[in-house]
Structure 1
């Protein structure tokens, strides 16, 4: 198997007024002469370490089952920093979403060969990282056409965004565990993740989104999310389907 390349970069954000680290995965046969879809991955270090994102991507590319892609992991600095940026009510949440859409997307497209279209851009996250990914996808549907959700915290505001969104613009992968009824949150509270996720599932399904959902056996842990990293890649990057959808590019 040819080895993928991992790059460590930094980007200055004017909207956040800070420098952010990036972990960038380039596929095994990366060529500047080709074009690639790309993923912006919240909790970036966790997805590579606990979600085995690079390993799964390598395996599926080697099996010729998925389209090769670039993965841009965005690690959080501290638990507090993560909550401020990722929580739908966090003080930096709106600015972080603007950073994703208006600063990080142009940076990636200026430095790597991509399709420059929403249908080939993906957001991905777990828990609060899934919440901010969903909010960004619903607020900027022409910038981000796809979102992968591993057990998001679902708020009333997110439900309202989903109710108003155009189902034709967003493809969604969504999983949650049947044991996520009493999840300890980073502000030392306990929340029921399962019930709001099931309500969100019903809304997505009824509104006709291009949508995958599974309620898995387990709780709010990487142990249970990890297999659904691979499933998400298979759903989003199926080689034949992706080629068909992007033939006009």
Structure 2
């Protein structure tokens, strides 16, 4: 099997007034003559290193289980930088979401052959990275039609957005651990992640989103999230999903 390519790029964000690093995975049989769905992955380096994202994608493509896709990892610079951009109340949260929708999406679509539609664009993240992924998808559902959430921090704002969003526009993969009741946070506090996630689950299920949910036995750790990276790809990247759209997009 041909090896996938991993590219390191940089992008200047006018919205954030800074340069950001990108880790871009191109699938094994990548061709500029084909079109691909793409993922914007928060905590990008962690997903490739601890989540085994590239390995799982390669395995599932080789077994013809999923559609090939492009994965764009966005590493965070520091713990403080991550909180400022990813936390729903973070100082740069709104600007970061605008960067994703108005700068990063156009950059990827200008440089790589992709489907230009919300259903073929995916957001992925763990913890705070899941929070910003969900918020971006709910605020920009025509831009991002899919969100993968590994144990997000959930607050009232996210639940309100979920209650108001059009469930026909966003597909969601959502997991949370049964032992995530006392999670140390980056502001030196301890938070109960489980209870708000179960409340969010109730809202998403009741509103009729295309939705996968599982409460796994485990804690707020990559050890427990890793298997659900593979599960998420299988749920999101239906092998036939884009085949009928290839000639019309």
2:35–2:246: 8 Å Cα contact kept in structure 1? Answer: no
Q: Hey, what's the Cα distance between the residues in 2 that align with 1:237 and 1:16?
A: 31
After TM superposition, list the pairs within 5 Å mapping 1:69-218 onto structure 2: 69-218=69-218
Q: Which runs of 5+ in 1 are unaligned?
A: none
Q: How many residues align?
A: 249
SS at match of 1:7: strand
Deviations 1:19-52 (Å, cap 9, x if unpaired)? 0000000000000000000000000000000000
Q: How big is the alpha-carbon RMSD for the aligned residues of Structure 1 and Structure 2?
A: 1.0
2:125–2:131: 8 Å Cα contact kept in structure 1? Answer: yes
Deviation (angstroms), 1:4: 0.2
Q: Hey, what's the Cα distance between the residues in 2 that align with 1:193 and 1:248?
A: 42
Deviations 1:202-223 (Å, cap 9, x if unpaired)? 1000000000000001000000
Q: Hey, what's the Cα distance between the residues in 2 that align with 1:23 and 1:131?
A: 21
Q: Hey, what's the Cα distance between the residues in 2 that align with 1:242 and 1:46?
A: 28
Deviation (angstroms), 1:236: 0.2
Deviations 1:165-212 (Å, cap 9, x if unpaired)? 000000000000000000001111000000000000010000000000
Q: Hey, what's the Cα distance between the residues in 1 that align with 2:247 and 2:193?
A: 39
Q: Hey, what's the Cα distance between the residues in 2 that align with 1:137 and 1:241?
A: 20
Runs of 4+ in 1 over 3 A off after TM superposition: 241-249
Q: Which runs of 5+ in 2 are unaligned?
A: none
2:101–2:143: 8 Å Cα contact kept in structure 1? Answer: yes
Which residue in the other structure is 2:235 paired with? 235
SS at match of 2:240: helix
SS at match of 1:105: helix
